[in-house]
Amino acid sequence: MSELDALVDELDRRLADADAALAAYYPGDRGVRQPVHTVYVPADQYDAGTVRGWAEEAKAALGRHGGSAAELADALELPAGLAVEVYERVRAKLDREPIEDLRIDFEDGYGTRPDEQEDAAAVDAARSLAETVKAGAAPPYHGLRIKSLEAPTRRRGVRTLDLFVRELAGAGALTDGFVITLAKVTSVEQVEAMMLVLSATEQAHALPAGSLKFEIQIETPQAILGADGTALVARMIRAGAGRVTGLHYGTYDYSASLGVAAAYQSMDHPVADHAKDVMQLAAAGTGVFVSDGSTNVLPIGEREAVHAAWRLHLRLVRRSLARGIYQGWDMHPAQLPSRFVATYLFYREGLESAAARLRAYVGEGESGYLDEPATAAALAGYVLRGLECGAVEMSEVDKLIGVDAAGLTKLARRPLRS
């Protein structure tokens, strides 16, 4: 054995623990699609027709206030050259898949009710969701938000989760797309407690160990900066031990907790940017998705008010996308048009440039860029996200880049799922 071989063997021994920790804590992309939004519906307003009802309301709003590509382009100041293709794709999306991720809300959107009332709502909502799952009509991602594990709401949150899962499991309607959102997390210990709750729930309803997943809602300052001065959100992901799938920013609870006046609480306030920067850093490389929050300015009322709300929503969604946050919340059916317009515009505007750079990267031409592997992966991830949400078609990927879906996925460094 040479001296160099001996040295490297020694490095392997010294770094074995660090190597194992890196692989365990930063496994990379999970190999699944990230939804572009999460739609929140209060539990008492949800039934098996909710998704189709949202689609019809969204299409009606688009018809009333943006009845043609030209009309919508004028109202939202869209690039003329992209208006038609974006508009037609949005209309098709509202028919095909109006909601990508649905969350039946038993927290702030539902409020505090008598126990027997929430019990009944949990059972009814779960049965309705099961009906849509079995009919193939449920959004690809779906689930519920429960009340927090803080002392006043702890028992209620756990009971609602148990009732909901019992109904879904009994109906054979628990899917890989099922996810639970845990609200107002303030400590690592609450994440550890949620792990115990999920394990007990799986045992109680004969579910495979580790099958229940959850998202952490970041809407308290304690989640961003603990009493010891550390960023607890990173420790929360680690405590989740593979069950945590997302970090969701809560715009209004978080801003209010920091004393921001109501008129200035927004997704683009500096305190929001700081929180989301910390969330992105904590989630990087872990396979955990980051989601922005919502805007409470709804596109309802007179035409001018609807257009103004759509312009605001479009700007905020595009801002999030540009910052590398590919998901947000929608709270009203009339927000779906502006969500998909903003999202599709983001992917359509950059498609040709990204495709040219990828084509050059795989050795099929020149782009004027010397892209490194990490940048090529980001370019491929961008195109892949556009493909998954409907902004881009596979025929375009083949024509512009010269790769198939598997090739694009490999370039994006996303694991191929069998």
**In 105-230, which ranges are continuous DSSP H helix?**
115-135, 154-170, 188-204, 221-224
Using DSSP, how many helices (H) and how many strands (E) does the chain show? 16, 8
Separation CA 97–CA 347 (nearest Å) = 18
CA-based nearest residue to 118, from 12, 126, 9:
126
Name the nearest CA neighbour of 284 among 329, 328, 231: 231
pLDDT string in tens for the chain (418-residue length)? 789 999 999 999 999 999 999 999 999 999 999 999 999 999 999 999 999 999 999 999 999 999 999 999 999 999 988 999 999 999 999 999 999 999 999 999 999 999 999 999 999 999 999 999 999 999 999 999 999 999 999 999 999 999 999 999 999 999 999 999 999 999 999 999 999 999 999 999 999 999 999 999 999 999 999 999 999 999 999 999 899 999 999 999 999 999 999 999 999 999 999 999 999 999 999 999 999 999 999 999 999 999 999 999 999 999 999 999 999 999 999 999 999 999 999 999 999 999 999 999 987 777 777 889 999 999 999 999 999 999 999 999 999 999 999 999 999 999 876 5
Which H or E run contains 95?
helix 80-96
411 Cβ contact partners less than 8 Å away, ≥ 6 residues apart? 358, 361, 362, 376, 377, 379, 380, 403
Q: Which tokens sit at 342?
A: 């903003």
Determine the pLDDT at residue 80: 84
Q: Give the whole-angstrom CA distance, residue 335 versus residue 312.
A: 11
Q: For tokens 């009944």, name the residue.
A: 120
Residues 6+ apart with CB under 8 A from 163: 119, 122, 123, 126
- pLDDT of 244 reads 98
- Report which of 215, 211, 189 is spatially closest to residue 202, judged by C-alpha positions: 211
Distance CA 39, CA 100 (A): 8
- Whose tokens are 């505090």? That residue is 112
In sequence order, the 6+-apart residues with CB closer than 8 A to the CB of 223 are 185, 186, 216, 232, 233, 236
pLDDT at 29 (0 to 100): 92
Measured in degrees and rounded to the nearest 5, phi and psi for residue 220 equal: -130, 145
Phi (first) and psi of residue 214, to 5 degrees: -150, 160
Kindly provide the residue ranges of all beta strands, DSSP E only, lying in 55-189, ordered along the sequence.
101-105, 141-146, 178-182
Query: Quick one: pLDDT at residue 418?
Result: 55
Q: What's residue 81's pLDDT?
A: 87
